[in-house]
Amino acid sequence: MTILITGGLGFIASHAAASLLESNQELVLLDNLCNSQESVHQKLEKLTDRKFPFYRGDVRDKKLLRKIFSDHSITAVMHFAGLKSVAESVKDPLLYFDNNVGGTITLLEVMQELGVYQFIFSSSATVYGVPEYLPYDESHPTKPINPYGQSKLQVEAILKDLAASDSRWAIACLRYFNPVGAHPSHLIGELPNDQPNNLMPFMMQVAAKQRPFLTVFGNDYETADGTGERDYIHVMDLAEGHEKALALIQKTPGMHIINLGTGKPHSVLELVRTFEKVTGESIPMQIGKRRDGDLPVYYASADKAKDVLQWQATRTLADMCLSSWQFQLQHLSS
Ligand code: WQD
């Protein structure tokens, strides 16, 4: 039983791969390296003491996909490959629909052709859009406010119809909240190829003195300290949630939509203060204007994941901050 992991050298996928390898799963990884580094392959083999094949390529390459499926007895796919910058999706929606929707359709066509029906999809809380109530549960209306979220929702719609068309499909759509942190080996973590969009990698660069200060995008929100609140989840908790989702689809066909979050919102300032406390580093800040498209607050109801996956996040904000910094230090010294 071999699992294909697309986008396998990326931030979240590489941590899922580490967990699966440590659980003795056989893996094949595919990545086009548009937002990852090939060195992650060797790092994963080192930290798990396991060998596995890596293919450099794109999920839109049907010929390559067929080769991978015929060279390895793939029984399930975890599909992480996709673009994930909200701002970039607004500037170039076609790029996002081609990559995120077109790429998934190509992958599903090859799976169907070769009789592989177990599929885990990397979805996102951005499918919900403006909260009508909080926390978001999986029944919350889905009205994404940017092309990135729309591309994820369109894939979910395709997967729903696919599962309805053929009872052999066993699909889990995992809606991530805000993944942060790094593997305890400090060998893998979040390392965007270009300027980071997200708070934690940006804060790491400020802490590493690669940037002079952190701009806080607005402190006039209706929140306890005026800054935006999010459901930050440790990437290792997220990885373990994927292992539980794999166990679910191996025994239960159909379509399962599940939030992966902690259910606990934290503000920007809380994250910064926690980081400073656990690392002893200081983060110079400037208050800037709100970022277009930002929501004041969003966080998950994690009840369904607890019920259906027997999974819940266990790591703290301090764990997230410390592991991110330990990875950053290791990366800077390598
Ligand atoms: C978090 C908070 C910002 C940077 C994104 C994407 C989506 C999803 C999760 C995958 C907000 C504030 C940020 C900075 C700041 N990932 N901030 N200064 O926007 O919640 O969600 O990641 O699906 O791709 O929507 O994450 O880390 O950008 O922002 O003040 O330099 O930090 O305003 O309140 P976001 P983020």
Full set of structural domains in the chain with CATH: 2-181+232-263+299-315 (3.40.50.720)
Residue 332 has pLDDT above 90, yes or no: no
pLDDT digits (tens, 9 = 90+) for 299-318: 999 999 999 999 999 999 99
From ligand 1's centre to the CA of 287, what distance in Å?
Answer: 15
pLDDT at position 181 is 98
133 CB-near residues (< 8 Å, 6+ apart): 140
Which atom from ligand 1 is nearest to the alpha carbon of 122?
23
Say if residue 135 is preceded by a cis peptide, omega within 30 of 0: yes
Helix count and strand count (H, E) for the chain:
12, 13
Mean pLDDT of 155-174: 98
Mean pLDDT of 99-127: 98
Structure tokens at 233: 């989840």
pLDDT digits (tens, 9 = 90+) for 282-304: 999 999 999 988 999 999 999 99
| Ligand 1 pocket: which of 11, 199, 271 to mutate (most atoms within 8 A of CB) | 199
Residue 194 has pLDDT above 90, yes or no: no
Distance between CA atoms of 158 and 103, rounded to whole angstroms? 12
pLDDT at position 333 is 83
Reported as a pLDDT band with limits 50, 70 and 90, residue 334 is confident
Structure tokens at 253: 């066909």
From ligand 1's centre to the CA of 182, what distance in Å?
Answer: 17
Identify residue 190 by its one-letter amino acid code.
E
Q: What is the CA radius of gyration of the chain?
A: 19
Tell if the pTM clears 0.85, that is, is over it: yes
Residue 192 has pLDDT above 80, yes or no: no
Residue 193 has pLDDT above 80, yes or no: no
pLDDT at position 212 is 96
Mean pLDDT of 200-217: 96
pLDDT at position 90 is 95
Nearest CA to 78 out of 14, 156, 165 is that of 14
Distance of CA 178 to the CA centre of its chain: 8
What is the residue whose two structure tokens read 């053929």?
166
From ligand 1's centre to the CA of 217, what distance in Å?
Answer: 10
| 83 in contact with ligand 1, CB cutoff 6 A | no
From ligand 1's centre to the CA of 321, what distance in Å?
Answer: 15
| 246 in contact with ligand 1, CB cutoff 6 A | no
pLDDT digits (tens, 9 = 90+) for 218-273: 999 999 999 999 999 999 999 999 999 999 999 999 999 999 999 999 999 999 99
pLDDT at position 111 is 98
| 122 in contact with ligand 1, CB cutoff 6 A | no
39 CB-near residues (< 8 Å, 6+ apart): none
| 268 in contact with ligand 1, CB cutoff 6 A | yes
Residue 325 has pLDDT above 90, yes or no: yes
pLDDT at position 215 is 97
| 228 in contact with ligand 1, CB cutoff 6 A | yes
pLDDT at position 53 is 98
Reported as a pLDDT band with limits 50, 70 and 90, residue 38 is very high
| 84 in contact with ligand 1, CB cutoff 6 A | yes
pLDDT at position 197 is 81
